[in-house]
A and B are shown apart, each in its own frame.
Chain A
Amino acid sequence: MKTVFSYVKPYKWPIAIALFLMLIELSVELIQPLIIAKIIDDGIMKGDVSVIWTWGGVMMLMAIIAFLSGATNSFFASHASQSFGFDVRTALFKQVQQFTVATFTKFPTAGLITRLTSDVTMVQNVLFMSLRIMLRAPLLVIGSVIMAFIVNAYLAIFLVIGAPFLIFFLYFMVKKGVSYFALVQVRLDRVNRVLQENLQAVRLVKAYLRGQFESSRFEKVSNLLKMDTVKALRVMEIILPLLLLVMNISLLAVLWFGASEIKTNNAQIGELVAIVNYALRMTGAFSMFSFIIMAIARAKASAERMEEVLLVNKGLERDEETGKMLGAAEGEISFHNVTFSYPNSPEPVLKNISFDVKSGEKLAIMGATGTGKSTLLQLIPRFFEASAGSVKVDGKDVRKWSLDQLRQAIGLVPQQSLLFTGSIYQNLAWGKIEASTEELQHAAKQAQIHTSIEQFAKGYDTRVGQKGVNLSGGQKQRLSIARALVRKPEILLLDDSTSALDVKTEAALWEALDKEEATMLVVTQKIRTAKGADRVLLLDNGEIAAYGSHEELLQTSDLYRQIAESQQEQEVSAHETDSI
Chain B
Amino acid sequence: MRQIPFKPFGYEPVLTKEDIIPVKKKKGERAGDWQGVLKRIWHLVDEQRALLVTVLLLVFVSSALALIGPFLLGKIIDEYIVPGKFVGLQTMIYWLIGIYFFLSLTMFLQNYWMIGIAQQTIYRMRTNLFSHFQKLSVSFFDKRQHGELMSRVTNDIENVSATLNSSFIQVFSSILTLTGTVIVMLMLSPLLTLLTMTIIPIMFYSMRWITRRTGKLFKEQQQAVGDLNGMIEETISGQRIVKAFSQEDRVTDEFIVKSERLRRTGFWALTYSGFIPKVMNMLNNASFAIVAGVGGLLALYGHVTIGTIVIFSEYARQFTRPLNDLANQFNTVLSAIAGAERVFSIMDEEIEKDEATSEQNTVLKGKVEFDKVSFKYEQSDDDHTIRNVSFTLKPGETAALVGATGAGKTTIMQLLARFYETNEGQIRIDDIPIHELPRQTLRSQIAFVLQDPFLFEATVKDNIRYGRLNATDEEIMDAAKQANAHDFIEKLPEGYDTVLTADGGEISQGQKQLLSIARALVADPVILLLDEATSSIDTVTEMKIQEALERLMEGRTSFVIAHRLNTVRQADVVYVMDQGQLMESGSQQELITQKGLYYQMLNEAKV
Contacts and interface: CB of A to CB of B under 8 A. Distances in A.
B443 A208 contact: yes
B209 interface: no
A545 interface: no
Nearest to A54: B293
Given A67-B282, A284-B321, A525 B233 contact: no
A144 interface: no
Given A457-B381, A500-B405, A566-B543, A66 B282 contact: yes
22 contacts: A35-B292, A53-B293, A77-B270, A79-B8, A108-B457, A108-B501, A109-B236, A112-B236, A192-B150, A195-B154, A199-B133, A211-B135, A218-B127, A237-B115, A240-B108, A245-B103, A276-B73, A404-B246, A416-B452, A452-B405, A571-B605, A571-B606
A502 B601 CA distance: 9
Contacts of B531: 473
A215 interface: yes
A105 B504 contact: yes
Chain B facing A: main interface SS: helix
Centre residue among A32, A368, A369 by max chain B CB count within 10 A: A369
Contact of B232 (A93, A218, A234, A569): A93
B366 interface: no
B232 A466 contact: no
Contact of A383 (B240, B299, B532): B240
B281 A195 contact: no
B509 A113 contact: no
A105 B501 contact: yes
A44 B493 contact: no
A507 interface: yes
B142 A469 contact: yes
A258 B151 CA distance: 58
A563 B538 contact: yes
A108 B502 contact: yes
B214 to A, nearest CB: 12
A70 B382 contact: no
Top 8 A-B residue pairs of the complex, sorted by shortest distance between their CB atoms? A474-B405, A56-B293, A369-B510, A74-B274, A70-B278, A63-B285, A67-B282, A59-B289
A196 interface: yes
A310 interface: no
Given A85-B266, A118-B155, A574-B606, 20 more contacts: A47-B300, A56-B289, A75-B271, A192-B154, A193-B457, A198-B134, A218-B126, A237-B111, A249-B97, A252-B93, A255-B93, A344-B506, A407-B243, A418-B237, A433-B250, A469-B142, A473-B531, A473-B532, A500-B532, A578-B602
Contacts of B493: 344-345
A14 B275 CA distance: 17
B406 A472 contact: yes
Nearest to B564: A570
A505 B448 CA distance: 26
B270 A74 contact: yes
Contact of B123 (A81, A222, A252): A222
A536 to B, nearest CB: 13
A33 B404 CA distance: 86
A132 interface: yes
Interface string A344-372: 11010100000000000000001111100
Contacts of A132: 274, 277
Interface string B507-524: 111110110000100010
B22 to A, nearest CB: 23
Contacts of A368: 510, 538, 540-541
Given A56-B289, A269-B81, A407-B246, A44 B604 contact: no
B456 A49 contact: no
B75 to A, nearest CB: 11
Nearest to A248: B100
B592 A473 contact: no
B362 interface: no
B244 A79 contact: no
A414 B86 CA distance: 89
A273 B77 contact: yes
B241 A215 contact: no
B107 A191 contact: no
Contacts of A580: 589, 592-593
Interface string B294-330: 1011011000001001100100000001000000100
Contacts of B447: 207-208
A104 interface: yes
A185 B94 CA distance: 45
B131 A241 contact: no
A200 interface: yes
Contacts of A473: 405, 410, 451-452, 531-532, 535
* Interface of chain A: mostly helix, strand, loop or mixed: helix
Nearest to A478: B405
A82 B261 CA distance: 11
A500 B297 contact: no
A76 to B, nearest CB: 9
Interface in B258-296: 259-260, 262-263, 266-268, 270-272, 274-275, 277-279, 281-282, 285-286, 288-290, 292-294, 296
A430 interface: yes
A234 B115 contact: yes
A255 B150 contact: no
Nearest to A93: B255
Interface in B359-383: 377, 379-383
Contact of B532 (A200, A404, A499, A563): A499
Q: Among A59, A205, A272, A525, which residue has the most Cβ atoms of chain B within 10 A?
A: A525
Contact of A64 (B8, B107, B282): B282
A431 to B, nearest CB: 4
A403 B245 CA distance: 11
Contacts of B213: none
Nearest to B405: A474
B592 A578 contact: yes
B391 interface: no
B244 A410 contact: yes
B266 A408 contact: no
A392 B168 CA distance: 65
A82 B263 contact: yes
Interface stretch (B46-54, B158-166, B426-434): B158-166
A269 B538 contact: no
Given A203-B138, A580-B593, A466 B241 contact: no
A60 B289 contact: yes
Contact of A407 (B9, B103, B245, B292): B245
B80 interface: yes
B171 interface: no
Contacts of A60: 286, 289, 293
B146 A79 contact: no
A206 B501 CA distance: 22
Nearest to A280: B70
B76 A255 contact: yes
Nearest to B467: A208
Given A40-B306, A580-B592, A52 B313 contact: no
B35 interface: no
Given A204-B450, A269-B81, A580-B592, A191 B153 contact: yes
B256 interface: yes
A293 interface: no
B400 interface: no
B357 interface: no
A421 interface: yes
A423 interface: no
A479 to B, nearest CB: 11
A192 to B, nearest CB: 6
Residue with the highest number of chain B CB atoms closer than 10 Å, among A245, A414, A526: A245
A342 interface: yes
A272 B123 CA distance: 51
B538 A525 contact: yes
A458 B126 CA distance: 38
A191 B154 contact: yes
A160 to B, nearest CB: 18
A59 B285 contact: yes
